[in-house]
Structure formats: C-alpha cells, structure tokens
Structure 1
C-alpha cells in the first residue's frame, strides 16, 4: 500500500508462472516517459468507457485489461483512470478487452489500490518503469484476516451522552487503522446490548455535512444507548476506520464531485471503478468477540450488516430501525440507499 501511494510499480507474483507481471499505478506515477500496450481497470470503469460488453463478461468490479490502438502513455492512461477528466477528454478509444489469464492476481491488486485510497487503474508492464516492489496476493488475504485484531488499550471515557462510558481501541500488527468501540453504560453479563456499527465519516461526523445522514445517526445512536444505560442496560458503538464505505476520503470526495454533476452515489462509485460497498464487517464481529459480546440488538437500516454480522457468528436478536428525517441536501442520497442498496427506509 505504501508503494502504491508513492507511485512505485508492483511486481505481482503469478501462481504457477515464473516471471511476475509489473503493474504501475496510474494515479501516483511520476515518470512521464512511461508507455504501455495495456491497462488494467475495473469492468465498471470499462462500461463508462463504452466497453458495454464488459457488463456481461464480468461483475462491476472485476478487473479488465484493455488495449488501445496506439498503447498508452501516462497522460492518456490518467485520462482513462480519472473520471474527473471525462468532460475534458470526451473522445477516448477505441479500446478492446484483452484476455486476462491472471484474474485472481489482478483482482488482488485492484483491491490493494482501494485499500490504499487510489484509483484502481494500472499500466501493465510499462516501458521505463522504476525498480518494482514485490507483491504476493496471498499476503492480502493474511492482512485482511480479522483474527489478528487485538485489544490495544481501553480507558474510561465520559461523553456528553453518558458520562459512565469506556473506550476500547483495537489494532492489527501491520494495519495503521485503529478501530474503536465505545461502551455506553456498564457492560453486564446476561444483558443484550444495543449496538451501532458506524463507519467513520469526517464530513458528517466532524464537519456537520448535510450531504449524508452519518452525523445525525451517530448522535442519535449515542443518545439511544444512553437511554439504555439509564434503564439498566448498555450500548456499544463500533466506530470503524473505513471512510466512504471503504474507498477512503480522497475517493469519497471524487465521488462527491461526480454527484455534483448529477450522478447518484452508486453511479459515482462505478465511474471511479470502485465498489459501492466495501466495508469490513468481519472486523466488527471480531471486535464484539474480543469484548465478550455474542448477542446484540443491532441499530441499522441495512440488511447487509445484519447478514454479514450473522455470517460472522454474531447473534442478532433484534434489528432496531435507525431512520432520521432527510433534508434537501441528502434526500437523493437516502433514496439511493433505499432503491439501489436495499436499505429499509420509508
């Protein structure tokens, strides 16, 4: 991930093959002399570029390798990777999709780009690439494994909603993200807590953005948990470090800019070549396990959270609806959640 942020090429190990393939991240590359014959992008981005057959050939975020008539230099590759440049570069192509024999390795590299917060687009075996960094896709699965998560620290933390609260901080050895849980009230054996799984939202939680409902949901959840504590129960807020549903702050702002052009949240992510939903619910389940919590009442409107936590071994005794009024700035956002992402909103 650090290599991608620096713009260094990756030498991706190929299962059963001798030589690795060299992949240069387009967004962060700094060598103007780079040139390649093919690019690796997502099928959702390929559809945006009018390779419509890719919708049938692959799921929206499967990797696709495309070839242009004259190949790609860094400037033309950047115009393909970044949808912010679509209006300034309307005539791209023609392109054709090439066979991709190393699909699993390509998918792992695209996932690595998402985690690093950069656009998922790579020059394949570019000329004049700098010295590469080795990447074995098997390492990504090990990095993602929530079993390596542990409790790093915990302390009493009085908050405005309830002064009898405790914060628990979690981390993995090679992951710079530090998730946390706020236990509102006193954790007690035999009581089923009210739980909210909340992914960080800088714009909503801190800046009071009206484009989403994250800030109001966070505040309302804390106050609902405080009521639980007053009535002899307790609540747990799982605060997950996965901005923008897992695409990162920079790409989230790119999606906002596309929304300003008229695209909804799902369409904006697809134009970026990124998933609409890539949050890590298995880690949330592991956090509950580490705190000794098995049964929960889950505050959510999202059936995917219910299914994912259930699949990870958490017993959800009740889904507690958590809908708040819309405003003129987030009405379309909430409608998209309901109509395209399956959230249980009225």
Structure 2
C-alpha cells in the first residue's frame, strides 16, 4: 500500500513480541531484527536501521556460520545502510565479504548485482578506474538485452561523467535506455527506478532537459502503482527541484506539492525529507512573491526540523541518491 511508516510501527511491535516469547539468539529473532532494519531503510532512517542490521548479522553468524544465505542477506542490507550513512568504505567491506560467499555458489544474477553494487561504491569513493574494471567484467557475463547490463551501462556512464568524459557517458546512457525501453511493459517499476538513475547522471552533467524527460517518463509509469508512491514522491520532488533550478518555478511548485503529499503518506508528516520539500516550496513561493504561502511553508519546515532534532537540511537533498545508486539489497 506504500504506507511505509505504518509498516515500520508494526515491525517494531513484532520484534518486541518475539523477544518476549522466543529463545534468545534464535534464527527467527535474527530475521525479525533484519526485517525491522529493512523497514527503517524503507523510510531512509539509516542510523536507526544500523543496530538492528548488526544484531541480525551477529545472530545469524553465531547460529548458521559465515557462509549461510542469511548472513549474505544481512551483509547486503548492511551495505545499503552504510551507503545511506555515506560510510562507503564500510559498505564496500560488507560487499566484499558477501562476494566471497557468492563466488563460491557460482555465477547467478545476485552475484552480478553484488559486483554492480561494488562498482557503484567504488564510484562513490572516487575510484573510477577500479569501478570501470568491475563493469567491464559484468559486461562479459551478461546478455546483451538484460536489465543488469542496462544498469551496468548506467554505472559506466556515471563513472565516465565523473571523469568528465561527457560524450562517452551519454553513449552509455543511450545504450541503457535502448535496453530498458524494451522492458518497460514487462518490469515497469524496475525500469522506472533505472530511469531515475539515468536522470541523476544527466543532472550531474548539467543536461537538465534530458534529466527532466527521464523523470517525466518515470512518473508516467509509476503513477499507476500505489504500492510505490514513495518512488513517485521522490521522482516528483526531484523533478520539482530541477524545474525550480532552471527558472520554471510555477511548474516546479506543482510537482513539489504533489511530492510532499506522497512522501507524507509514505514516510510520515515529520520526516526530514518532507521538511526539506516544504522548505523548497517556501523558497519557490517567495520567488513568486507569494509571501503568505511562503511563510506557511517555512513555518512547517521549521517545525519538522525542530521535531527531527536536525540542525539543517543540507543532507536531505541527497537522500534519494542511496536508492539511485543501489539495487535491491536482499538476494531473494
């Protein structure tokens, strides 16, 4: 239903009950800790997710050993959590430990996704040549029209963009789009998420019109799926911010207003990301000399900031980068 904050409350209650009735350190308690960590990740609260992810890993290592499926799943989740906390080196450490086990099991799609995530982490650390070597290996192992290959092209384009090889970067993004366009009807949500990644790279290279186009394509797909309203909210917010940055303020306000309603429904009305969008709505209204509306938006933003005990909104704009860069962390 897309109501992630309500799911989080129920996961908390579930863990409390299991801690009362189950044997300490049993496997099921490990699973409950991981599920609560995943619920915190879903609302982008990585700091709160971390202790539960670590607890799940500890229980599963003690009960099942380092080479178990559950331990790999825990490490893949911790990889996402550390990425969300911008602790990229720790995320990479978890990735490498997962890869050791996955390599023993033989080639399959989750191994390739882990290698792709390793490449994205290397990009985040600024190790672009290392990332490109990872990606070249992925290209050798994937089919020409596979989704993983498309995601690898996006990551390759991102690495090249960061090296200021803009022309080659654009070619990679075009290759990715060529693959994804054919899969839109078969896997719409996954394709929409990939389009958002492409938009992010276009934005990095200051190709704002191309980024706007990709975000509009994203919204056209996912507005039909209420279970991913958080994704629709993020895409609307990103689009609103882009339009605002390019001087199209009236259009930007429409997307920002839509984003704030969707994100409130998904993450709760006091989420810091919601406060950031209110802050930007205040700035947009102020630019249009709508002083009363601007004051209302700034007041709401301040209230959320105070309730969240946040000093500023500087990091809020980067929240969506976590999911833009990473795929589904759990190898089901």
Same fold (TM over 0.5): no
The structure whose Rg is larger is: 1
Q: Report the TM-score range of the alignment, normalised by the length of the smaller protein.
A: under 0.3
From the two aligned structures, give the one with the greater strand fraction: 1
- Superposition TM-score, scaled by structure 1 size: 0.27
Higher RCO, 1 vs 2 (CA within 8 Å, ≥6 residues apart): 1
From the two aligned structures, give the one with the greater helix fraction: 2
- Superposition TM-score, scaled by structure 2 size: 0.28
